[in-house]
């Protein structure tokens, strides 16, 4: 039976809601606290579609997603089929279906529905882009890249112990709308995500209808699987707008450390810009966490660099690498990237007065072990072939607030990073 894009949008947004109250749909939320617009009447059609989808999803959830340690074995077996060598035999798990068969969604309608769900929450934080241009405007529109560890739902609710974050702030039916609102607000051409454990039921179906092509590569032994009622393994996801880019090549990489296969992964794709016919490689990764694993992360970083060296044909293809590296700038893995033969620079250093210092933090949280403020997330780029035209400024300490992240205002313990890139008109022979 045919469903309009608006009804599909509503059903997907609310497919796992525990039941929204029948409240009038408000006007769009504002960036600052002025009085809200008068509420608009709710659409019974949308609520009916959402209710039906929610009931079906809850039934499915009870059947499929009640997973604890016992189910980890099942997903470990599945993960073996999804490693880099077997991925080509099972591409249906990693690449989204043909979007031509999917009904498109108006991003404004999706944003409006997200804001309607979030109408009881505080306004979204205001962040501004910093103009970093040092030359004449490019003849082609910039390439906007977003990097974000969105916080796996199973980890946020079951493992991460954010002691200052109210449990209500972590409810998926609202938190996913905060995540989508952030993505829709900045409209990236390329989206690089970590800790994605709702790819197939949320991000892939919604973003594909917004014109993105997506790829997902789960961790072989995701810690999400140890949490009761989880939604499956988390992993990295990469999305790009199909009206701007053509996929040339895609690689799913299971990272190694000291010849051992690890639980961390990366996705690397070579894209061709439809406007300029220029090619570049975009990669997303999430390295091993925790203090004491510095040498392990360093080895993973070296393995990723070697893979990227091969994919970019010895740095002949420009490169952008997004990731949660779980490493401060003082760590060896950071130094490997900064001194690599790929000639990479960290984009967010350009926000500092001297252009040489990373931001003071990209994640800020309070756990039972104490308060943690670190710089762990980066966007690296080929500094000879690409220029950073603008970067999204970070939230201030005042905006983040004393309870830190995540919160009712912000859905993750990591901040999103967003940069606008353009090709240098006459790149050097080597990048």
Query: What's residue 398's pLDDT?
Result: 96
Query: What's residue 302's pLDDT?
Result: 98
Query: What's residue 158's pLDDT?
Result: 87
Query: What's residue 138's pLDDT?
Result: 75
- What domains lie within the chain, and their CATH numbers? 142-423 (3.60.10.10)
Task: Give the C-alpha distances (Å, rounded to integers) separating 219 from 72, 128, 140, 194, 229.
Answer: 12, 34, 37, 10, 18
In which residue ranges of the chain is pLDDT below 70? 1-101, 136, 426-431
Q: Are strands 212-218 and 190-196 parallel, antiparallel or unpaired?
A: unpaired
Query: What's residue 9's pLDDT?
Result: 55
Q: How far is the C-alpha of 137 from the C-alpha of 348, rounded, in Å? A: 20
pLDDT tens, residue by residue, 195-222: 999 999 999 999 999 999 999 999 999 9
- Burial of 188 by CB count in 10 Å (0-12 exposed, 13-18 middle, 19+ buried)? buried
């Amino acid at each position: 039976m045919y469903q309009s894009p608006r009804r599909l949008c509503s059903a997907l947004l609310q497919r796992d809601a525990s039941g929204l109250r029948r409240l009038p749909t408000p006007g769009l939320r504002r960036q600052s606290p002025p009085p809200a617009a008068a509420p608009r009447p709710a659409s019974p059609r949308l609520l009916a579609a959402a209710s039906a989808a929610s009931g079906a999803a809850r039934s499915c959830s009870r059947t499929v997603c009640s997973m604890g340690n016992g189910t980890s074995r099942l997903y470990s077996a599945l993960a073996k089929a999804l490693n880099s060598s077997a991925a080509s035999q099972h591409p249906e798990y990693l690449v989204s279906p043909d979007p031509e068969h999917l009904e498109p969604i108006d991003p404004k309608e999706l944003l409006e529905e997200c804001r309607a769900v979030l109408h009881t929450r505080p306004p979204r934080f205001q962040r501004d882009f910093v103009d970093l241009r040092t030359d004449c405007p490019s003849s082609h529109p910039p390439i906007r890249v977003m990097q974000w560890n969105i916080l796996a739902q199973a980890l946020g609710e079951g493992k991460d112990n954010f002691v200052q974050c109210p449990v209500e702030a972590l409810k998926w039916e609202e938190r996913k709308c905060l995540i989508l609102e952030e993505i829709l607000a900045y409209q990236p051409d390329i989206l690089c995500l970590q800790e994605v454990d709702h790819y197939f039921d949320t991000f892939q179906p919604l973003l594909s209808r917004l014109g993105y092509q997506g790829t997902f590569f789960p961790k072989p032994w995701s810690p999400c699987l140890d949490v009761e009622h989880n939604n499956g393994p988390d992993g990295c996801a990469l999305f790009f707008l199909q009206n701007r880019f053509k996929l040339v090549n895609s690689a799913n990489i299971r990272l190694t450390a000291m010849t051992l296969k690890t639980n961390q992964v990366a996705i690397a794709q070579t894209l061709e810009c439809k406007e300029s016919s220029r090619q570049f490689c975009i990669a997303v990764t999430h390295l091993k966490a925790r203090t004491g694993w510095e040498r392990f992360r360093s080895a993973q970083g070296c393995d990723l660099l070697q893979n990227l060296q091969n994919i970019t044909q010895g740095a002949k293809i420009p490169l952008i690498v997004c990731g949660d590296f779980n490493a401060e700038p003082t760590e060896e893995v950071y130094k490997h990237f900064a001194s690599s033969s790929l000639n990479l620079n960290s984009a967010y250093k350009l926000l500092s007065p001297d252009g040489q210092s990373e931001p003071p933090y990209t994640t800020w949280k309070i756990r039972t072990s104490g308060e943690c403020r670190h710089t762990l997330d980066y966007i690296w780029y080929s500094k000879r072939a690409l220029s950073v035209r603008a970067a999204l400024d970070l939230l201030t300490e005042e905006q983040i607030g004393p309870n830190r992240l995540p919160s009712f205002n912000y859905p993750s313990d990591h901040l999103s990073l967003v940069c606008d890139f353009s090709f240098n008109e006459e790149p050097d022979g080597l990048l």
